[in-house]
Amino acid sequence: MSKRNELFKTSIGGQALIEGVMMRGPEKTAMAVRVKDGSIVVEEGPSEKVKLAKVPLVRGVMSMITSLKIGYKYMMRSSELAMEDIEDDKLSLYLKEKFGDKVENTISTVIYIVAVFLALGLFVVIPTFITGLIGKLVTLGRMRAVIEGILKMAMFLMYLYLISKLEDIRRVFQYHGAEHKTISCYEAGDEITVENIRKHTRFHPRCGTSFLFIVIAVSILVSSLITTESTLARVGLKLLLLPVVMGISYEIIKYSGSHDNWLGRALAAPGLWVQRLTTREPDDDQIEVAMTSFLKVLPEDGSDRC
């Protein structure tokens, strides 16, 4: 790949997996996973198109739904590949023998649904209820939305900090860093090699961590428009307004990820800081995995340009 002299922003994005990286390009999606024998297993498929991708605000919600679905699918698959030689426990073996793959898929779906509800509870319901309890002791008025926002942001950052201390999660965060470094190397116009990728930053403005941070920041502003003091009503309205919050947040991160002007950099700065919690410097083996996945989805016609 020749060095480009112009600023270039790609639409290719990815996700860190269990011992691997998934990349989504304009036409293909590819997953590369380092398995127990040291080799890299690659699986490819067509890139799922986001419905209503050209409709502002609406495309943010559709993109979030698509990303969650694809990300969950590849996360589960990478787990299977990375731990395929680990023996199942007796209960898992019995369930597979008795019901086949259906029960495994059902359990995975239940886990996914529970995770979504836990996330909503942690970052939407709990901060609102805690603020409601404080409101019974002192009059909060307009400060209620501010306190809810501070609690929400504090819980989000604490959650990221705590899980970053887990060894398995730390390795996922290293692959996250490898994913960002690979994309940064490509956008800089450098040849895609392990040596070149190693030199680039592990922080990238178009990142899921940055998106979540922006979602929380935007939700604080939207919550300030809710005037009711009823805790249950506030929770209900926040859930109803969540698609609006995601739509606005998507437009912000899309702009910051594709513009290198002062506004784009200002919008990206807080999310880049938070990525210090969710990315780690990868080793060369992890970079090789990210590079393998990236090259599989890289189009030759430049259709990945933002």
227-261 per-position pLDDT tens digit: 887 878 888 888 888 889 999 999 999 888 888 88
Q: Which two tokens stand for residue 257?
A: 């990820």
| Whole-number average pLDDT of the chain | 84
Burial of 266 (0-12, 13-18, 19+ CB in 10 A): exposed
The DSSP 8-state label assigned to residue 3 in this structure reads P
In a domain, 155, yes or no: yes
Query: Mean per-residue pLDDT for 179-200?
Result: 95
> With bands split at pLDDT 50, 70 and 90, how would you rate the model's confidence at 25?
very high
| Predicted pLDDT of residue 282 | 96
Structural domain including 132 reads 13-297
Question: What pLDDT digit, counting tens, does each position of 271-294 carry?
Answer: 999 999 999 999 999 999 999 999
> Of 163, 172, 182, which is closest to residue 34 (Cα–Cα)?
172
- Assess contact for 24 and 70: CB atoms under 8 A: yes
Residue 36 backbone phi and psi in degrees, to 5: -60, -30
User: How far does Cα 16 stand from its chain's mean position?
Assistant: 9
Q: How many domains does the chain have?
A: 1
- Is 8 contained in some domain? no
> Worst-scoring range by mean pLDDT, 98-102, 215-219, 224-228, 281-285?
98-102
- Nearest in space to 77 (alpha carbons), one of 104, 48, 50, 99: 104
Q: pLDDT higher for 194 or 82?
A: 194
Between 119-133, 152-166, 182-196, 287-301, the lowest mean confidence (pLDDT) is in 119-133
Mean pLDDT along residues 47-52: 80
Alpha helices (runs of H) in 85-230, residue ranges in sequence order:
90-99, 101-120, 126-137, 143-163, 167-187, 194-198, 208-223
pLDDT band (50, 70, 90) for residue 83: confident
* Residue 35 included in any domain: yes
Using an 8 Å Cβ cutoff, are 286 and 178 in contact?
yes
Please tell me the predicted confidence (pLDDT) of residue 14: 92
Give the mean pLDDT of 10-17.
92
* Share of the chain residues as helix, strand and coil, in percent rounded to the nearest 5: 65, 10, 30
Confidence band for 91, pLDDT divided at 50, 70 and 90: very low
186 Cβ contact partners less than 8 Å away, ≥ 6 residues apart:
1, 8, 10, 12, 192, 294, 298
Examine residue 133 and state whether it is found in any structural domain, yes or no: yes
In a domain, residue 4? The reply is no
Mean predicted confidence (pLDDT) in 159-166: 90
**Residue 2's pLDDT band (boundaries 50, 70, 90)?**
very low
Band (pLDDT 50/70/90 cuts) for residue 38 is very high
Asked if residue 306 belongs to a domain, the reply is no
Average pLDDT over residues 20-29: 94
Q: Which residues contact 251 (CB under 8 A, 6 or more apart)?
A: 56, 57, 60
pLDDT beyond 80 at 66: yes
- Per-residue model confidence as pLDDT tens digits over 196-211: 999 999 999 988 889 8
Q: Is 3 inside a domain boundary?
A: no
According to DSSP, residue 10 is labeled B
Average pLDDT of the residues in 104-114: 55
Contact predicate 298/25, CB 8 Å: yes
Identify which has the larger pLDDT, 162 or 96: 162
Q: Is residue 6 part of a domain?
A: no
